[in-house]
Amino acid sequence: MHQQTLPGNIHKCEKCDYNTDKKPLLAKHMLTHDCEGKVPLKCSECSKEFTYESSLKEHIRTHFPDQPKKYSCDKCSYTTNYRNNLVKHGMNKHVERERDKVCNECGKAFFSDEKLNAHIKIHTSERNYPCSICEKRFKTPSQLKNHEATHSKDKPFKCEKEGCVKEFRTARLLRIHVKDVHTLAGSGERRHCTVEGCKFSFVKMCHFKRHYITHTGKKYHCPYEGCGKSFRHADNLRVHKRQHTNEKPVQCDKCSFRCRQKSSLYYHIKRYHPP
Per-residue confidence (pLDDT) for residue 170, from 0 to 100: 80
Grouping H, G, I as helix, E, B as strand and the rest as coil, residue 259 is strand
Quick: pLDDT tens for 135-170.
677 877 877 887 777 777 778 888 888 888 888 888
* Spatial separation of the C-alpha atoms in residues 59 and 169, rounded to whole Å: 12
CA proximity to 18, closest of 7, 2, 34:
2
Position 3 scores a pLDDT of: 46
The burial of 49, by beta-carbon neighbours within 10 Å (0-12 exposed, 13-18 middle, 19 or more buried), is given as middle
**pLDDT tens per residue across span 252-266:** 888 989 888 888 888
Per-residue model confidence as pLDDT tens digits over 30-83: 665 544 444 567 888 787 777 667 677 777 777 776 666 678 888 777 777 777
b vs e for 249-272, b when ≥16 Cβ sit within 10 Å of the residue's Cβ? ebeeeeeebebbbeebbeebbeee
H, E, C per residue of 174-237: HHHHHHHHHHHHHHCCCEECCCCCCCCEECCHHHHHHHHHHHHCCCEECCCCCCCCEECCHHHH
Length of the chain (residues): 275
Q: What is the per-residue pLDDT across 192-237, written as a single tens digit (0 to 9) for each? A: 887 888 888 887 777 887 787 778 777 788 888 889 888 877 778 8
Q: What is the CATH topology of the domain spanning 79-191? A: Double Stranded RNA Binding Domain (3.30.160)
Q: Which CATH architecture has domain 220-272?
A: 2-Layer Sandwich (3.30)
Q: Which residue has the higher pLDDT, 158 or 134?
A: 158
Residue by residue, what is the 3-state secondary structure of 48-114? CEECCHHHHHHHHHHCCCCCCCCEECCCCCCEECCHHHHHHHHHHHCCCCCCCEECCCCCCEECCHH
Q: Is 139 helix (H, G, I), strand (E, B) or coil?
A: coil
